[in-house]
């Protein structure tokens, strides 16, 4: 799994929009990742349809299959705003979200548990294939995929995933494990 390079929204520290682009630093991160990726073999590539992951795919000079299940969490009414802004504009929703981050469905968006469900479905599906799969995706998706190893979304906040990093999970004879984290 490769997290997209640094985006404009990452710099602004806002809940990401679908159309945010990679920064120059983000493009350089992906060029470095491209070199590291030569050490690995993979049979298929899946990518999120959001602009920053499409730009990552292009900078890696790869082609793949778009899959909506590996899109970033939909932040709904929080999208495009900083934490300070959502706290001021949506104090009640922010409190409800902070009180139950996993289960709270952000208005016009998703909950972490909802995203975990769609990502788990995707991972279960591709794990039945006898192939190495490359995903170009997002922070939340990778953190939830790492949590899937433990069959427990509660591990979500125990991972940090760097922009442009390669993260590897493996399924071997029915056992799931983390092989590499933040390789960059």
Q: Choose among 101, 123, 127: nearest CA to 114.
A: 101
Q: Is 139 annotated as a binding residue?
A: no
Tally of CB atoms within 10 A around 99: 9
Q: Is 110 annotated as a binding residue?
A: no
Q: Is 4 annotated as a binding residue?
A: yes
Q: Choose among 69, 80, 65: nearest CA to 18.
A: 80
CA distances for 34 relative to 45, 57, 108, angstroms: 14, 10, 36
CA distances for 85 relative to 14, 27, 74, 123, angstroms: 9, 28, 17, 34
Q: Is 69 annotated as a binding residue?
A: no
Q: Is 8 annotated as a binding residue?
A: yes
Q: Is 51 annotated as a binding residue?
A: no
Sign of dihedral through CA atoms 64, 9, 20, 116?
Answer: positive
Q: Is 71 annotated as a binding residue?
A: no
Q: Is 100 annotated as a binding residue?
A: no
DSSP state at residue 63: -
H-assigned helices in the chain: 8-12, 24-37, 51-59, 83-89, 91-99, 112-127, 139-148
Q: Is 132 annotated as a binding residue?
A: no
Q: Give the residue ranges of the annotated binding site.
A: 3-10, 52
Q: Give the residue ranges of the annotated binding site for substrate.
A: 3-10, 52
């Amino acid at each position: 799994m490769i997290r997209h390079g640094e985006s404009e929204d990452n710099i602004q520290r806002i809940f990401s929009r679908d159309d945010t682009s990679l920064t120059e630093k983000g493009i350089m991160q992906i060029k470095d990742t491209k070199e590291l990726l030569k050490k690995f073999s993979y049979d298929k590539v899946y990518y999120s349809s959001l602009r920053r992951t499409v730009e990552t795919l292009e900078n890696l000079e790869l082609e793949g299959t778009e899959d909506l299940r590996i899109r970033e969490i939909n932040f709904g009414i929080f999208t495009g705003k900083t934490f300070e802004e959502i706290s001021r504009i949506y104090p009640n929703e922010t409190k409800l979200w902070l009180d139950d981050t996993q289960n709270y469905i952000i208005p016009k968006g998703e909950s972490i548990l909802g995203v975990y469900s769609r990502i788990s479905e995707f991972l279960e599906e591709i794990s039945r294939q006898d192939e190495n799969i490359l995903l170009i995706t997002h922070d939340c998706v990778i953190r939830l995929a790492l949590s899937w190893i433990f069959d427990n979304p509660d591990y979500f906040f125990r991972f940090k995933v760097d922009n442009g990093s390669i993260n590897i999970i493996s399924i071997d004879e029915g056992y799931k494990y983390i092989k590499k984290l933040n390789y960059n």
